[in-house]
Amino acid sequence: MLCPHGGDMVIFPGKPTFMKAPEDQIGISGGVASFVCQATGEPKPRITWMKKGKKVSSQRFEVIEFDDGSGSVLRIQPLRVHRDEAIYECTATNSVGEINTSAKLTVLEEDHLPAGFPTIDMGPQLKVVEKARTATMLCAASGNPDPEISWFKDFLPVDTATSNGRIKQLRSGALQIENSEESDQGKYECVATNSAGTRYSAPANLYVRGKSSFHARRSLFSCPKGSMAFSDGVCSLS
């Protein structure tokens, strides 16, 4: 908490509060689940994840920290029926206090999915783009009700609100990245979610190259005949 004091800003300790809490999810056996937990407080709180009262630990469980230290994502892959079905708890702790929130994970077999479960009709594909050009990562999904599409980059959710309009999600669900930068390079996944459940696309890498290296070494980015297309500074699957 910040308060002015004689022209200076004085920081007062504050108990953690959640900015983003994990939500219940229904996933598919062999698929992916991601729980997002972010908190603020002073000092900055530490986020921990628990399953059935024990700290999560498994080769299939990964905790990915946000760059700004605001929290983390608990990613489970590949999902297992029964074994992964549980309540997952996020705890935010600092020297002032501790808060908890939780979310339930349900895992279904592919051949026992309810009607309307999301389907990825078109997922993102590998793309190489010249720096400062526009890159578009495609995604189309269907389901009943119509699924909402969101994006993850390097296992963290893409927040278009922090890009000053440079990164947009189009009405089609595609992710459009204008004036591409090297920081945009990474592994992208689109996620389709409705009341029936959540399905992830296969991941696809986006590479951003400088102009000189892009044109001098374009052949090294493997735009082979018949399999890939090159146009307007972008090399992508055709």
Query: For the ranges 50-54, 59-63, 227-231, 234-238, which has the lowest average pLDDT?
Result: 227-231
Q: What is the DSSP letter of 171?
A: T
Question: In angstroms, rounded to a whole number, what is the distance separating the alpha carbons of residues 150 and 8?
Answer: 41
- Write out pLDDT tens, residues 65-87: 999 999 999 999 999 999 999 99
Residue 143 has pLDDT above 50, yes or no: yes
Q: What is the pLDDT of the chain when averaged over all its residues?
A: 88
Question: Domain boundaries in the chain?
Answer: 14-108, 119-209
- Dihedral, CA of residue 8, residue 13, residue 17 and residue 19, to nearest 10: 30
Closest by CA to 210, choosing from 237, 187, 233, 232, is: 233
- Dihedral, CA of residue 147, residue 149, residue 87 and residue 28, to nearest 10: 70
CATH fold label, 119-209:
Immunoglobulin-like (2.60.40)
pLDDT-based confidence at 225, cuts 50/70/90?
very low
- Write out pLDDT tens, residues 173-205: 999 999 999 999 999 999 999 999 999 999 999
- Establish whether domains 14-108 and 119-209 are of one fold: yes
CATH number of 14-108: 2.60.40.10
Instruction: Identify how many contiguous H helices and E strands the chain contains and give both numbers.
Output: 1, 24
